[in-house]
Structure 1
Amino acid sequence: MNNRRNWLKQIGLATVGIGFSSFETFANPPFEDYILPNPDKSPIFLRSNENPYGPSPLARAAMTKSVNSSNRYGWDLSSELIALLAKKNNVADNNILLGAGSTEILDLVLQYTALEKGNFILAETTYNYWTFPSEKLGIKKITIPLTKEKKHDLTAMLAAIDSNTKMIYICNPNNPTGTICERENLVSFIKEATKKAIVFVDEAYIDFTKEQSLSNFVIENKNLIITKTFSKMYGLAGARIGYAIANSSTIEQLSILKSSPNLSLTNVSAAAAIASLSDEKFIQQVYEANAAVKKYTIDQLTQLNLNCIPSHSNFVYFSLDNYKKDFFKQLEDHNIMGTKIYEENGKWTRITIGTMKEMQQFIEAIK
C-alpha cells in the first residue's frame, strides 16, 4: 500500500485531502461518457474483440500522469502490480509473471515447450496466431476438431496425448467460437492431462463470464499455466498488459527465458493496470453493456436466419451459410472492419460486440 501511495504522489493523484478512494468517485462520469468519439469517416472496428468503451477513467488519468515517470525503470510499479494480481487471484507474488500482453506469455510458453522437442495439442478452431513459430522451433502442432457444438473435445484431446506431448492449449472461453468448457469436465481433464504434459489455459475472456478462474489449482500443480490479459474487459489492448499464473517453480523456469522478468511493461501500462484493478464500477458497467448489446446482436442475426453459437465472450460466432449477399463486401461498403471465414464448412465467421450504436449500424449494413 505504501508503494501505491508513493506512486500516487509521484504522478499527482494523491493530494492533501484526496485519497485514492475519493479520486475514484471523482473520476467516474456517466457510463455513456466512456465511449470514445468515432469520427464519421473512421472505420467501425469489430474485428479484434477490443473493448469499445476504452480504458476506465481511472486508467486514463493514471496513464496521463505516469508519463512524467517514464524516465525511470518500472521495477517498483511492476512489484506493486504483481502484489495486486496475486491478491486478486488468491495466489502468492511468486506465482505471477508479467508480460507485454498475454501474447508475450504465449510466446514464452511456446519457447519453454520447445526446450524439449515433441508436440503440443490444441483445438481446431481456436486462437492460434501464437503457434506460427512452432515449426521453426522444432515442435509439432496437433489439432483436434471441435465438437458439433463448437466446444473443445476434451476427451479426444486427452486421447491424443502421447509420450512426445509437451503441452495442451485450451482457450476458455474459446476464441473465435465463444464457447466454454464445463468447469467439472475441465478440472477432470487437467488432473489427468497434467500427469503427462503442461496444460496451458488461456483465460483472456473469462471476465465476460461468471466462471471462476482455475488459478487456485496452480499452487499444487506444476504443470498448469494460466494466462490472463488486460486487453479485453479492461480496454487496454494497446497498452499491452498480460500475465501468467503458475506454480512458483514454473514461474521460475519461465523467468529464466527472459532477460528482465517482469520488466516488459512500461510505467504507463503498469499504472493503467493498477488503476484499472480499482475501478470495479467501470468493469461491472462494461460487463452489463456487453451482455445487453450481445443479446441484441444475436437476436438480430437470428432474425436474419443466421445460426449463432451461444457466446460467453465479447464476440459472436455465426454461420453465413444462409446469407445470400457478399457479407464482407457489405462490411467494406459500410466502413466496418470484420474478420474472416474461420471454418469453410458452414462459412463460420466472428464479429466483435461494439457499442449498441455500432452494432445497430452493423445490422443495418448486412440487411
Structure 2
Amino acid sequence: MSLTLRPHIAGMPPYRAGRSPKPGPDGRAWKVSSNENPYGPLPGVLEAVARSLEEMNRYPDAGNTEMTSALATRHGLDEERLAFGTGSVEVLAHLLEATCGPGDEVVYAWRSFEAYPLAVQVLGARSVQVPLTATGEHDLDAMRAAITPRTRAVMVCTPNNPTGPAIPHDDLVTFLESVPDDILVIVDEAYVEYVNDPCATRGLELLDVHPGVVSLRTFSKAYGLAALRVGWMAAADTEIARAVRSVTMPFAISSPAQVAVLASLEAEPELIGRVRVTIHERDRIAEELRRLGHRIPATQGNFVWFPAGELTHVWFDAFREAGLMTRAFAGEGLRVSIAEPDANDRILEVAGTLLR
C-alpha cells in the first residue's frame, strides 16, 4: 500500500467488544461480558421509537433540543453546560480531541475502561497509566504525582470498570483541589445509576469544585438503550461543552434515539425498580462469592470482578463451558455482568467450582 498512515494509527488495535456465548450442556447461554442491561426497553419507549420511524425521511434534530432541555431541568443545570454524542465513549473522544494533541499526556488509572488508551493513542497523545490499588481502587495520590507540565487531561472512572469500586466523593474533591485549573478532568460515571453508597462520588456536584471537570454519563446501561447509542456530559465550564458540540458530527444522534431517551426519562419509576433489582442481585452475588473464598472487590456497578491472575483463561473456559460468556483480561481477571436471576445463579454454580 502506498498510502502512509500516521505512525500512532498504524497497527492500532480495534476496540474489542464482548463476545456472544455458546450454549452450555443444558442448551442455555448468557452473555455477561458487556455490562448490558438484561431487561428490555422501559414502558413507552418502543411506542415512541415506532412513531419516530414514520418520519425517517427527515433529519434528526441536530441540536438535541428536547433532550438538552429535559436533562437540564432534571438536574438543575444550564443547558449550555451539556453536550451529547453516540455513546459516552464518543463524548470522551471529543473531549480529548478538543484538549489533547501529539506529545500531550493523559493520566488515568489502570486497569480501567478499555477505550481509554485507544482514545488517547488516536490523537498521538501519551497514556500515563497509574496502577490501581490491591483492592481495585484508584490511587489518587499516585495519580496526582503522575501529573506533569505536559498533562492535558485526567480521567477517573467511578465506579471503575472493570473492578467495580466507586471513588469516595470527599477523596475526589481533595484530589481535584490539587489539580491545576488548566487540566481537563473527566469523571466517567457510566454506571452512576447503580451506585447506592452514600459516600460515593456525586459527579454533578464536582462541577463547582474544579473549572475543568466534566461528568460523563450514558443511556446505554441502566436505561437499556445500548443499541441506540446516546451519551452525554455536563461541564463546569460552558466553553468545554461548546467545544464538544463543535467537533461532534451533525445529526449524530438519530431521531429514534432522541425520542427513546425522552420516553425513558418519563419512565423513571420503572427504571428505579429495575435498578433496585440489579443492585440486589449484585450484592447477593458478591456476598456469596466472598463466602466461597473469592476476593471480590467492593462493587458499585452492574458487574463483579474476579482477580484471577494466571488462572484467568482457565476460569474463562469454565464459565464458557457452562454457557456464560464473561470478559477476560489476560493475566489479570474476569469481569462478569449482573444478568437475569437464572444467569446469576449459574455464575455462582460455576464460581463454586473454581477454587477447588
TM-score bracket for this pair, using the shorter chain length: 0.7 to 0.9
Q: Quick one: structure 1 residues 293 and 93, their matched pair in 2 at CA, closer, same or farther if it must change by over 3 Å?
A: same
Determine whether 1:174 maps to 2:163: no
What TM-score do you get using the length of structure 1 for normalisation? Answer: 0.82
For normalisation by structure 2, the TM-score amounts to 0.84
Structure 2 residue aligned with 1:257: 247
**C-alpha distance in structure 2 between counterparts of 1:103 and 1:321, whole Å:** 28
| Aligned equivalents of 1:153, 1:143: Cα separation in 2 | 11
State the match for 2:238 in structure 1.
248
Q: Which amino acid aligns with 1:82?
A: T
Q: Is the 8 A contact 2:106 2:154 kept in 1?
A: yes
Report the residue type matching 2:304 in the other structure. V
Structure 1, unpaired ranges of 5+: 1-37
Counterpart contact for 1:208–1:287, Cα < 8 Å: yes
- 2:273 maps to 285
**CA distance in structure 1 between the partners assigned to 2:333 and 2:100 by the alignment:** 32
**Distance in structure 2 (CA, Å) of the matches to 1:338 and 1:88:** 35
Q: Secondary structure at the match of 1:64?
A: helix
Question: Which whole-Å CA distance do the structure 2 matches of 1:279 and 1:112 have between them?
Answer: 34
What SS does structure 1 have at the residue aligned with 2:263? helix
Counterpart-to-counterpart distance in 2, 1:168 and 1:333: 40
**Shift in Å, 1:217:** 3.9
Q: What secondary structure, in the 3-state scheme, does the structure 2 residue paired with 1:122 have? A: strand
SS, match of residue 44 in structure 2: helix
Which of these residues, 233, 239, 246, is aligned with residue 222 of structure 2?
A: 233
Are positions 1:330 and 2:315 aligned together?
no
* Match status 1:54 vs 2:40: yes
> Would you say the 8 A contact 1:204–1:228 is kept in 2?
yes
Q: 1:365 to 1:65 in 2, by over 3 A?
A: farther
Count of aligned residue pairs for this structure pair: 324
Quick check: 1:172–1:181 contact (8 Å CA) kept in 2? Answer: yes
Residue of structure 2 in register with 1:141 after alignment: 127
Which structure 2 residues correspond to residues 119-158 of structure 1 after superposition, within 5 A? 119-158=105-144
Shift of 1:142: 0.4
Q: Quick check: 2:85–2:230 contact (8 Å CA) kept in 1?
A: yes
**CA pair 324-179 structure 1, distance change in 2 beyond 3 A:** closer
Superposed CA offset, 1:150-205 (max 9, x none):
11111111111111000000011110111011101101212221424111110101
Q: Which residue of 2 aligns with 1:201?
A: 187
Question: Counterpart in 1 of 2:8?
Answer: none
Closer, same or farther: CA 72–213 of 1 in aligned 2, 3 Å = farther
Q: Which moved more, 1:105-114 or 1:294-303?
A: 294-303
- Give 1 or 2: higher helix fraction: 1
Tell me the CA shift for residue 141 of structure 1: 0.6
SS in 2 for 1:120: strand
For 2:297, give the aligned amino acid: I
Letter in structure 1 aligned against 2:341: M
CA distance in 2: counterparts of 1:257 and 1:133, whole angstroms: 15
CA-based RMSD of the aligned residues comes to: 2.4
Q: Report whether the alignment pairs 1:213 with 2:194.
A: no
Q: CA separation of 1:145/1:41 partners in 2, compared to 1, >3 Å: closer, same or farther?
A: same
Q: Which runs of 4+ in 1 moved over 4 A?
A: 321-325
Deviates more, 1:232-241 or 1:66-75: 66-75
| Cα separation, 1, equivalents of 2:312 and 2:130 | 31
Query: Per-residue displacement from partner, 1:89-124 (whole Å, max 9, x unpaired)?
Result: 221111111111101101112212324741010001
